[in-house]
Amino acid sequence: MTTYEAIILGIIEGLTEFLPISSTGHMIIVTALLGMEPDEFVKMFTVNIQFGAILSVVVLYRKKFIQSLNFYYKLFIAFIPAAVFGVLLDKQIDALLGSVEAVAIALLLGGIVLLFIDKLFAENETEGEKEISYLTAFKIGLFQVISMIPGVSRSGATIIGGLTQKLNRKQAAEFSFFLAVPTMAAATCYKLMKNYTLIDSSNIGLLLIGNAVAFIVAMIAIKAFIGILNKYGFRWFGIYRIIIGAVIIILLTLKINLAVL
């Protein structure tokens, strides 16, 4: 991996991590476009730079993270399903991390779902903010498990989970941001512990660069996303997913190597 590739992947991570378009899916697509082999270091890198993105949440919402312990209890309860299934399905998830086909299908199907989300949960926007109970937090956490499939989108799944619990778009999105902190911190630490032997003096700089870029870009993306979501809803994200997914499926069907584009 080159410094240029590390910067590109950091930008992609920061832009897509908190949008309902799948950061992991975009990472897989971009690595294919760059002609990068999905080896163990590349897979570890794409997970590790999520740490930079979650730091942006802590900085932007620092007041939330110094409130009562009740806030952390709810995040922990919401985190439990992903923690359990993440360990149980680790090998299966890792196998899918290099599958462009799986990403394309998930992007397409997820995009179709997003086309109808605004109408399905329109009444949530008129009821104001709702208190998030422990049960609500757990149910949102169950939706996060679905996002373990590359291309589904952790952000999209958990936001939809929040909407099913009568949260409005802004509240659902913000809880999704908060839930990303323990989830991605755990995923990063787990991946590092499993693959620490891959890190040496020749590539630790790449990890630092990727995290720094992801942090800066995510700060900008989070602020922009809330504004876009409140004004336009999910429809345009759905259209984007459908276009990207359909294009990739067509290219794969025609057996065109993404790396030559």
pLDDT 10s digits, 213-247:
999 999 999 989 988 988 889 999 999 999 999 99
Most confident range, picked from 66-70, 87-91, 136-140: 136-140
Rounded CA-CA distance 139/133 in Å is: 10
pLDDT 10s digits, 98-112:
678 888 899 999 999
Q: Return mean pLDDT, the chain.
A: 88
Decide if pLDDT at 257 tops 70: no
User: Tokens at residue 210, please?
Assistant: 């990727």
Rounded CA-CA distance 98/66 in Å is: 38
Rounded CA-CA distance 14/199 in Å is: 22
The DSSP output letter for 67 is S
CB 137 within 8 A of CB 143: no
Residue type, position 228, single letter: I
Most confident range, picked from 188-192, 199-203, 207-211, 229-233: 207-211
The DSSP output letter for 233 is T
User: Tokens at residue 67, please?
Assistant: 């409130």
- What ranges do the domains of the chain cover? 3-260
